Copies of this chain bind each other. A is one copy, B any other.
Protein backbone atom coordinates (compact mmCIF):
# COMPACT_ATOMS: atom_id res chain seq x y z
CA UNK A 1 0.00 0.00 0.00
CA UNK A 2 1.68 3.15 -1.20
CA UNK A 3 0.69 6.66 -2.13
CA UNK A 4 2.24 9.41 -4.22
CA UNK A 5 2.73 12.55 -2.14
CA UNK A 6 3.29 14.65 -5.26
CA UNK A 7 -0.03 13.68 -6.79
CA UNK A 8 -2.55 16.49 -7.11
CA UNK A 9 -5.21 14.32 -5.46
CA UNK A 10 -5.89 14.72 -1.77
CA UNK A 11 -3.76 12.54 0.42
CA UNK A 12 -6.80 11.27 2.26
CA UNK A 13 -8.38 10.22 -1.03
CA UNK A 14 -5.23 8.40 -2.08
CA UNK A 15 -4.96 6.62 1.25
CA UNK A 16 -8.62 5.65 1.14
CA UNK A 17 -8.10 4.32 -2.37
CA UNK A 18 -5.06 2.30 -1.35
CA UNK A 19 -6.90 0.68 1.54
CA UNK A 20 -9.99 0.11 -0.58
CA UNK A 21 -7.90 -1.65 -3.20
CA UNK A 22 -6.36 -3.79 -0.51
CA UNK A 23 -9.82 -4.81 0.67
CA UNK A 24 -11.19 -5.49 -2.80
CA UNK A 25 -8.01 -7.31 -3.75
CA UNK A 26 -8.30 -9.59 -0.77
CA UNK A 27 -5.15 -8.40 0.99
CA UNK A 28 -7.36 -7.40 3.89
CA UNK A 29 -10.01 -9.91 4.76
CA UNK A 30 -13.32 -9.50 6.54
CA UNK A 31 -13.05 -8.64 10.21
CA UNK A 32 -9.32 -8.12 9.95
CA UNK A 33 -8.09 -5.19 11.98
CA UNK A 34 -6.37 -2.36 10.18
CA UNK A 35 -3.27 -0.82 11.74
CA UNK A 36 -4.06 1.90 14.26
CA UNK A 37 -4.43 5.45 13.05
CA UNK A 38 -1.04 6.31 14.43
CA UNK A 39 0.58 3.41 12.63
CA UNK A 40 -1.16 4.26 9.37
CA UNK A 41 -0.06 7.87 9.73
CA UNK A 42 3.46 6.64 10.20
CA UNK A 43 3.27 4.22 7.31
CA UNK A 44 1.94 6.78 4.83
CA UNK A 45 4.01 9.60 6.28
CA UNK A 46 1.03 11.81 6.95
CA UNK A 47 -0.63 13.18 10.04
CA UNK A 48 -3.34 11.44 11.97
CA UNK A 49 -6.16 13.80 10.90
CA UNK A 50 -5.35 12.97 7.29
CA UNK A 51 -5.54 9.25 8.03
CA UNK A 52 -8.80 9.81 9.84
CA UNK A 53 -10.31 11.57 6.85
CA UNK A 54 -9.34 8.57 4.75
CA UNK A 55 -10.92 6.15 7.22
CA UNK A 56 -14.12 8.20 7.33
CA UNK A 57 -14.36 7.95 3.57
CA UNK A 58 -14.20 4.18 3.84
CA UNK A 59 -16.66 4.13 6.71
CA UNK A 60 -19.11 6.11 4.58
CA UNK A 61 -19.08 3.23 2.11
CA UNK A 62 -19.50 0.66 4.87
CA UNK A 63 -16.13 -0.81 3.98
CA UNK A 64 -14.85 -0.51 7.53
CA UNK A 65 -16.26 -0.05 11.01
CA UNK A 66 -14.44 1.43 13.98
CA UNK A 67 -14.39 0.57 17.65
CA UNK A 68 -12.98 2.65 20.42
CA UNK A 69 -11.01 1.51 23.37
CA UNK A 70 -8.18 -0.92 23.91
CA UNK A 71 -8.08 -3.57 21.18
CA UNK A 72 -10.35 -1.26 19.25
CA UNK A 73 -9.54 0.09 15.83
CA UNK A 74 -10.81 -0.09 12.30
CA UNK A 75 -12.02 -3.44 11.01
CA UNK A 76 -12.87 -4.57 7.54
CA UNK A 77 -16.62 -4.74 7.38
CA UNK A 78 -18.56 -7.60 5.90
CA UNK A 79 -20.74 -5.74 3.44
CA UNK A 80 -24.15 -7.08 4.35
CA UNK A 81 -27.05 -7.15 1.95
CA UNK A 82 -28.81 -4.71 4.26
CA UNK A 83 -26.01 -2.17 4.05
CA UNK A 84 -25.88 -2.63 0.32
CA UNK A 85 -29.66 -2.12 0.07
CA UNK A 86 -29.45 1.11 1.98
CA UNK A 87 -26.65 2.44 -0.16
CA UNK A 88 -28.37 1.45 -3.33
CA UNK A 89 -31.59 3.11 -2.33
CA UNK A 90 -29.81 6.35 -1.46
CA UNK A 91 -27.88 6.32 -4.71
CA UNK A 92 -30.88 5.42 -6.84
CA UNK A 93 -33.06 8.04 -5.19
CA UNK A 94 -30.52 10.76 -5.77
CA UNK A 95 -29.90 9.59 -9.30
CA UNK A 96 -33.56 9.89 -10.16
CA UNK A 97 -34.10 13.19 -8.42
CA UNK A 98 -31.01 14.88 -9.84
CA UNK A 99 -31.09 13.77 -13.43
CA UNK A 100 -34.53 14.62 -14.65
CA UNK A 101 -35.32 10.97 -15.33
CA UNK A 102 -38.79 10.82 -16.80
CA UNK A 103 -41.46 8.93 -14.98
CA UNK A 104 -41.90 6.68 -17.98
CA UNK A 105 -38.23 5.72 -18.02
CA UNK A 106 -38.11 4.93 -14.33
CA UNK A 107 -41.40 3.08 -14.52
CA UNK A 108 -40.29 1.01 -17.47
CA UNK A 109 -37.09 0.00 -15.71
CA UNK A 110 -38.88 -0.90 -12.52
CA UNK A 111 -41.46 -3.11 -14.15
CA UNK A 112 -38.98 -4.69 -16.52
CA UNK A 113 -36.91 -5.76 -13.54
CA UNK A 114 -39.93 -6.88 -11.59
CA UNK A 115 -41.14 -8.99 -14.50
CA UNK A 116 -37.75 -10.66 -14.41
CA UNK A 117 -38.46 -11.77 -10.85
CA UNK A 118 -42.04 -12.87 -11.26
CA UNK A 119 -41.44 -16.28 -12.88
CA UNK A 120 -38.90 -17.20 -10.20
CA UNK A 121 -41.25 -15.99 -7.51
CA UNK A 122 -44.09 -18.06 -8.93
CA UNK A 123 -41.78 -21.05 -8.71
CA UNK A 124 -40.27 -20.55 -5.29
CA UNK A 125 -42.35 -18.23 -3.14
CA UNK A 126 -42.95 -19.50 0.39
CA UNK A 127 -46.14 -19.28 2.39
CA UNK A 128 -44.56 -16.37 4.21
CA UNK A 129 -44.16 -14.32 1.08
CA UNK A 130 -47.73 -15.02 0.08
CA UNK A 131 -48.99 -14.10 3.53
CA UNK A 132 -47.15 -10.79 3.37
CA UNK A 133 -48.64 -10.04 -0.02
CA UNK A 134 -52.14 -10.85 1.18
CA UNK A 135 -51.68 -8.80 4.33
CA UNK A 136 -50.56 -5.77 2.34
CA UNK A 137 -53.50 -6.14 -0.03
CA UNK A 138 -55.77 -6.20 2.98
CA UNK A 139 -54.15 -3.08 4.38
CA UNK A 140 -54.54 -1.31 1.08
CA UNK A 141 -58.30 -1.72 1.36
CA UNK A 142 -58.58 0.07 4.70
CA UNK A 143 -60.64 3.20 4.09
CA UNK A 144 -58.73 5.51 6.42
CA UNK A 145 -55.32 4.80 4.96
CA UNK A 146 -53.26 7.86 4.11
CA UNK A 147 -51.68 8.20 0.70
CA UNK A 148 -48.23 7.78 2.21
CA UNK A 149 -49.20 4.60 4.01
CA UNK A 150 -50.82 3.25 0.86
CA UNK A 151 -47.63 3.86 -1.10
CA UNK A 152 -45.52 2.26 1.62
CA UNK A 153 -47.79 -0.76 1.56
CA UNK A 154 -47.50 -0.84 -2.20
CA UNK A 155 -43.71 -0.98 -1.88
CA UNK A 156 -43.97 -3.73 0.75
CA UNK A 157 -46.21 -5.77 -1.52
CA UNK A 158 -43.84 -5.60 -4.44
CA UNK A 159 -40.94 -6.22 -2.16
CA UNK A 160 -42.52 -9.46 -1.01
CA UNK A 161 -43.12 -10.45 -4.60
CA UNK A 162 -39.46 -9.86 -5.43
CA UNK A 163 -38.22 -11.58 -2.30
CA UNK A 164 -40.32 -14.56 -3.30
CA UNK A 165 -37.74 -15.31 -5.95
CA UNK A 166 -35.45 -16.24 -3.05
CA UNK A 167 -32.47 -14.76 -4.79
CA UNK A 168 -30.76 -12.20 -2.57
CA UNK A 169 -28.85 -10.72 -5.48
CA UNK A 170 -32.08 -10.04 -7.32
CA UNK A 171 -33.71 -8.62 -4.21
CA UNK A 172 -30.75 -6.33 -3.74
CA UNK A 173 -30.87 -5.10 -7.30
CA UNK A 174 -34.60 -4.57 -7.19
CA UNK A 175 -34.61 -2.80 -3.86
CA UNK A 176 -33.04 0.24 -5.47
CA UNK A 177 -35.43 0.33 -8.38
CA UNK A 178 -38.60 -0.16 -6.36
CA UNK A 179 -37.83 2.00 -3.37
CA UNK A 180 -36.24 4.81 -5.33
CA UNK A 181 -39.45 5.08 -7.29
CA UNK A 182 -41.48 5.77 -4.19
CA UNK A 183 -41.01 9.55 -4.16
CA UNK A 184 -42.08 9.64 -7.79
CA UNK A 185 -45.04 7.40 -7.06
CA UNK A 186 -46.02 9.61 -4.17
CA UNK A 187 -46.36 12.46 -6.61
CA UNK A 188 -49.25 10.57 -8.11
CA UNK A 189 -51.61 10.91 -5.24
CA UNK A 190 -53.85 7.92 -5.54
CA UNK A 191 -57.49 8.73 -5.29
CA UNK A 192 -59.85 6.34 -3.61
CA UNK A 193 -61.03 5.24 -7.05
CA UNK A 194 -57.59 4.26 -8.36
CA UNK A 195 -56.82 2.32 -5.21
CA UNK A 196 -59.48 -0.18 -6.12
CA UNK A 197 -57.88 -0.83 -9.50
CA UNK A 198 -54.47 -1.28 -7.93
CA UNK A 199 -55.80 -3.67 -5.31
CA UNK A 200 -57.38 -5.67 -8.12
CA UNK A 201 -54.02 -5.92 -9.88
CA UNK A 202 -52.31 -6.92 -6.66
CA UNK A 203 -54.89 -9.59 -5.99
CA UNK A 204 -54.47 -10.97 -9.48
CA UNK A 205 -50.71 -10.99 -8.97
CA UNK A 206 -50.90 -12.74 -5.62
CA UNK A 207 -53.28 -15.33 -7.07
CA UNK A 208 -50.95 -15.97 -9.97
CA UNK A 209 -47.92 -16.29 -7.74
CA UNK A 210 -49.82 -18.62 -5.43
CA UNK A 211 -50.90 -20.76 -8.38
CA UNK A 212 -47.37 -20.75 -9.75
CA UNK A 213 -48.64 -19.27 -12.99
CA UNK A 214 -45.83 -17.14 -14.36
CA UNK A 215 -47.58 -16.01 -17.52
CA UNK A 216 -50.60 -14.61 -15.67
CA UNK A 217 -48.26 -12.79 -13.29
CA UNK A 218 -46.38 -11.39 -16.23
CA UNK A 219 -49.53 -10.20 -17.87
CA UNK A 220 -50.77 -8.62 -14.65
CA UNK A 221 -47.52 -6.74 -14.25
CA UNK A 222 -47.78 -5.62 -17.84
CA UNK A 223 -51.21 -4.18 -17.31
CA UNK A 224 -50.26 -2.65 -13.98
CA UNK A 225 -47.40 -0.89 -15.73
CA UNK A 226 -49.73 0.42 -18.41
CA UNK A 227 -52.19 1.57 -15.81
CA UNK A 228 -49.51 3.31 -13.75
CA UNK A 229 -48.12 5.12 -16.73
CA UNK A 230 -51.56 6.22 -17.89
CA UNK A 231 -52.33 7.46 -14.41
CA UNK A 232 -49.09 9.42 -14.36
CA UNK A 233 -49.81 10.94 -17.76
CA UNK A 234 -53.25 12.05 -16.62
CA UNK A 235 -51.87 13.60 -13.45
CA UNK A 236 -49.24 15.48 -15.43
CA UNK A 237 -51.81 16.65 -17.96
CA UNK A 238 -54.14 17.84 -15.22
CA UNK A 239 -51.33 19.76 -13.63
CA UNK A 240 -50.32 21.35 -16.89
CA UNK A 241 -53.92 22.35 -17.52
CA UNK A 242 -54.21 23.83 -14.07
CA UNK A 243 -50.99 25.77 -14.54
CA UNK A 244 -52.32 27.30 -17.75
CA UNK A 245 -55.52 28.74 -16.28
A residues adjacent to B (C-beta < 8 A) = 12-13, 16, 20, 23-24, 26, 30, 49, 52-54, 56-61, 63, 78-81, 84, 87-88, 90-99, 101, 105-106, 108-110, 112-113, 115-117, 120, 165, 167-170, 172-173, 176-177
Contact = CB atoms under 8 A, between A and B. Distances in A.
A40 B177 CA distance: 34
B98 A78 contact: yes
Judged by DSSP, the binding face of A is helix
A109 B84 CA distance: 16
B109 A173 contact: yes
A116 B218 CA distance: 11
Given A84-B95, A88-B91, A108-B120, A101 B53 contact: no
A63 B177 contact: no
Contacts of A26: 97
Contact of A116 (B52, B81, B97, B115): B115
A79 B135 CA distance: 37
